[in-house]
């Protein structure tokens, strides 16, 4: 599997620096990509695929959520695949966009008793899986996606995000 070209944009909120976010995102998303390739047989393009990460505020993500999903409320993460993709099939050269909201992420981490970085790691993995066609709308899909998230996070030294063991 080739590397992934990750483009970072910090738009709003007290996020860490773009350099720090890039280092963390590369570690997390490269591990997720390696897992998908080796454990799930996910193919990757021969050339380095691209994805963008947008770090923003609840206000901004609320507007995006309202426009694209008809849900006028903030959410923790939104993913927009660049091309329609089915799990296990070849993605396009541009994977898509993952958008994260600082306030929601911070609040959820506190409510879950997890560190900010642990919850951010989970949401990066969650958003990344959406770019490969994984979803959680139906029970069977949710079980598959949550299982993948749990296994990827375990490789990154984090506990099951759907269990009771906070990190």
Instruction: Assign residue 23 the CATH number of its domain.
Output: 3.40.390.30
Count of C-beta atoms within a 10 Å radius of residue 52: 17
Whether 167 is covered by a domain: the verdict is no
pLDDT in tens, 85-141: 899 999 999 999 999 999 999 999 999 999 999 999 999 999 999 999 999 878 788
Strand order in the sheet with 50-56: 5-10, 50-56, 94-101, 77-81
Q: Which of 41-50, 134-143, 145-154 has the lowest mean pLDDT?
A: 134-143
Tell me whether residue 160 is in a domain. Answer: no
165 falls within a domain: no
Please indicate, yes or no, if residue 45 is contained in any of the structural domains: yes
pTM: 0.93
CA count, 13 A, side-chain hemisphere, 153 = 27
Domain for residue 162, yes or no? no
Structural domain range at position 142? 5-155
Q: Name the domain count of the chain.
A: 1
In this structure, how many other beta carbons lie within 10 angstroms of the beta carbon of residue 163? 8
């Amino acid at each position: 599997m080739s590397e992934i070209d990750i483009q970072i944009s910090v738009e709003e909120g007290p996020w860490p620096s773009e350099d720090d976010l890039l280092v963390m995102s590369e570690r997390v998303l490269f591990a997720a990509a390696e897992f998908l390739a080796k454990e799930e047989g996910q193919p990757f393009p021969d050339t380095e695929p691209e994805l963008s990460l947008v770090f923003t505020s609840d206000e901004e993500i609320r507007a995006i959520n309202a426009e694209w999903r008809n849900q006028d409320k903030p959410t923790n993460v939104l993913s927009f695949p660049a091309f329609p993709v089915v799990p296990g099939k070849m993605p396009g050269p541009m994977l898509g966009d993952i958008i994260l909201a600082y306030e929601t992420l911070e609040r959820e981490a506190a409510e879950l008793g997890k560190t900010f970085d642990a919850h951010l790691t989970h949401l990066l993995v969650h958003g990344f899986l959406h770019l490969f066609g994984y979803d959680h709308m139906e029970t069977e899909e949710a079980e598959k996606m949550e299982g993948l998230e749990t296994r990827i996070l375990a490789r990154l030294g984090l506990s099951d995000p759907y269990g009771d063991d906070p990190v």
